[in-house]
Amino acid sequence: MPSRSESSKSTRPPKGRIDILSMGSTGSGKKSRARSRKAGGTAPPGARDVIPPDDPWYIDPNAFPRRAPMRERLKFCLKYAVLAPSSHNSQPWRFMVGDDHVRVFADRTRALPVVDPEDRELTISVGCAVEHLRLAMLRHRLAARVEPLPRADDHDLLAIVHVEPRPAAPTGEQCAMADAVPLRRTNRRAFDARVPHEMLLDALVRHAGALGAEFVCITDPRERRVCAELVAEADRVQFASRQFRRELASWMHHNRSLSQDGLPGFATGMSELPSLLAPLVVRTFDLGDGRAARDHDLAEHSPVLAVLGTEHDSVADWLSAGRALAAVLLRAHVDGLCVSYLNQPIEIPELRSRVRRFTPKIAAPQILLRLGYGPSTHRTPRRPVERVLVHTGL
């Protein structure tokens, strides 16, 4: 679950307010496309996100070491796992590879204690990585069985993904979803007015349900407006908190940063200079009004909003929600849909209860998404597999 930060072309902060996050932001139209090309950040419409072979986003399925020992094959599948989405792109996971399994741990040194005090979103992020790993194993004909929360005395060990003795026979859909892993992007730009076909949305509902989650689409304009107002209210609440701003700023990086995690400026449409200033400005000033205006516009004018949730609200449910989220995102990419997050109301307990009012089918809302069609966008950085392996322990 990447950052909740979003950019929009049509809304401006009130006069007299500083809003670094609107500087250099990209939308549609010739001028904004020209700004994007000049900035070298977010890709202009139609641009290709060229991936060099040494980048973690580069995966050649044909390079799978089919005849190598199982440990090497599982390590190759972890290339898919490290491309999972996470809050603030914090990548809060570790992996230990065994002879016939992979242990998946939460890395709580990468927790977000202000915005995610219970590690709910952290656990969802790890669940996304688990599902990426499972699909990668299927793609390469390794039957996978996920064992969630295997040890009550180890709260960091969230899952073990076992290799079953029989070879896998993946479906075409499963192969397509696995192949979508290195192509999927969180698209924080404004979407156009095209409405996804009902059959595509039904497929997302089906995938979420198969992994123990509910997925409710919000297409009615009045309900989207109510949701947009909740998002804007949450923005104002969060940005009024100095602790929230400091935490967010600590994960923000300038466009030329070599960091392999966090949020580079181009992820929210910033050009070079704003990306340098943004962490300081976010840390210092309350930008809630400007952010609220833009996010309200994004939410109200996205053709589909959706809430992913679970029946209960335990750690096991959060892990299931993460696996379901990963499946939804990958299936959406296969369909050509763009997806990004507006999780702010779910991160505030008082507002989370109000999300339930227009999604009564969902007892515990976990993720708020927007879906539609939009221009291409660049990848955010990732740590390579070698940096997230645990080499000693159990």
For 235-292, the pLDDT digits (tens) are: 999 999 999 999 999 999 999 999 999 999 998 889 999 999 999 999 999 999 999 9
Helices 272-284 and 242-250: angle between axes, nearest 10 degrees: 150
Angstrom distance (rounded) from CA 285 to CA 215: 36
Q: Is 173 in the same domain as 189? A: no
Angstrom distance (rounded) from CA 382 to CA 318: 23
Q: Is 85 in the same domain as 202? A: no
Q: Is 117 in the same domain as 245? A: no
- pLDDT tens digit string along 151-183? 999 999 999 999 999 999 999 999 999 999 999
- The verdict on residue 177 lying in a domain is yes
- The verdict on residue 12 lying in a domain is no
Q: Is 324 in the same domain as 205? A: yes
How many helices (H) and strands (E) in the chain? 12, 10
Threshold 0.85, pTM exceeds: yes
Angstrom distance (rounded) from CA 86 to CA 41: 20
Angstrom distance (rounded) from CA 167 to CA 144: 9
Q: Is 35 in the same domain as 136? A: no
Among 169, 184, 199, the domain-final residue is 184
- The verdict on residue 96 lying in a domain is yes
Whether 208 and 214 have beta carbons less than 8 Å apart is answered as: yes
Q: Is 25 in the same domain as 167? A: no
Whether 163 and 100 have beta carbons less than 8 Å apart is answered as: yes
Largest CA distance in the chain: 65
Whether 324 and 215 have beta carbons less than 8 Å apart is answered as: yes
Q: Is 174 in the same domain as 281? A: no
Distances (CA, A) of 311 to 12, 181, 209, 230, 283: 39, 27, 11, 22, 37
Q: Is 272 in the same domain as 319? A: yes
Angstrom distance (rounded) from CA 91 to CA 259: 12
For residue 367, the SS3 value is: strand
Q: Is 156 in the same domain as 284? A: no
- pLDDT tens digit string along 3-33? 443 333 333 333 334 344 443 343 433 333 3
**What pLDDT does residue 393 have?**
52
Q: Is 108 in the same domain as 234? A: no
Boundaries of domain holding 121 = 61-184
Whether 26 and 32 have beta carbons less than 8 Å apart is answered as: yes
Q: How many domains, in total, are found in the chain?
A: 2
Does the structure show a pLDDT above 70 at 66?
A: yes
Among 161, 184, 207, the domain-final residue is 184
- pLDDT tens digit string along 88-115? 999 999 999 999 999 999 999 999 999 9
- The verdict on residue 10 lying in a domain is no
Q: Is 335 in the same domain as 200? A: yes
Q: Output the domain CATH number for residue 362.
A: 3.40.109.10
Among 160, 184, 208, the domain-final residue is 184
Q: Is 199 in the same domain as 325? A: yes
- The verdict on residue 385 lying in a domain is no
